[in-house]
């Protein structure tokens, strides 16, 4: 199964703090895509895909959101073995953005990512070695 994930990225340094604006360039993004499958205290996640972006993706200094398109692919049969039929349906709904507001015991397909980005700045390369989690919110792009 393949899909394109549009990841919105915003440069927080727009010069409003008195510091000069700084353009940054994303040069690497190691990522894992997870689906949460259990709601409540014992929440659990299942890794459904992983990837690595390498290249140059410019992120301006005007506070606008730049959208990086990530081509995500995973083995549907392998995920079927882990999640079962209902889980695959929930995953498809989550990828399509349908599950964003209907999370309940029957629809637990929200997606999240764990990322380790590297950016190039005028001060040199910066890598978030510990990485961070990002919840995926579905928007119409506006």
Domain residue spans in the chain?
A: 2-74+112-135
Phi, psi for 77 (deg, rounded to 5)? -70, -40
At residue 142, the pLDDT reads 43
Whole-number Å distance between alpha carbons of 64 and 129: 25
Q: How many CB atoms lie within 10 A of CB 100?
A: 16
Phi, psi for 124 (deg, rounded to 5)? 115, 180
At residue 130, the pLDDT reads 93
Write the pLDDT tens digit of every residue in 90-112. Answer: 767 766 665 544 455 544 456 78
- Write down the CATH number for the domain with range 2-74+112-135: 2.60.40
At residue 42, the pLDDT reads 56
Residue with tokens 């940054």: 24
Residue with tokens 């689906």: 35
Which token pair is 29?
């993004």
Write the pLDDT tens digit of every residue in 20-73. Answer: 777 789 999 999 988 765 555 555 677 888 899 999 998 877 778 888 988 888
């Amino acid at each position: 199964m393949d899909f394109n994930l549009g990841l919105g990225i915003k440069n927080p340094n727009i010069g409003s703090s008195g510091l000069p604006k700084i353009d940054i360039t994303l040069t690497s993004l190691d990522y894992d895509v997870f689906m949460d499958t259990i709601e409540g205290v014992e929440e659990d996640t299942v890794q459904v895909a992983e990837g690595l972006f390498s290249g140059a993706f410019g992120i301006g200094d005007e506070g606008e959101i730049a959208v990086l398109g990530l081509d995500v692919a995973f083995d549907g049969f392998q995920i079927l073995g882990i999640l079962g039929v209902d889980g695959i349906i929930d995953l498809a709904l989550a990828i399509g953005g349908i599950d964003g507001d209907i999370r309940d015991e029957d629809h637990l397909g929200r997606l999240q990512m764990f990322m380790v980005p590297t950016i190039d700045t005028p001060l040199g390369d910066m890598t978030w070695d510990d990485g961070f989690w990002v919840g995926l919110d579905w928007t119409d792009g506006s």
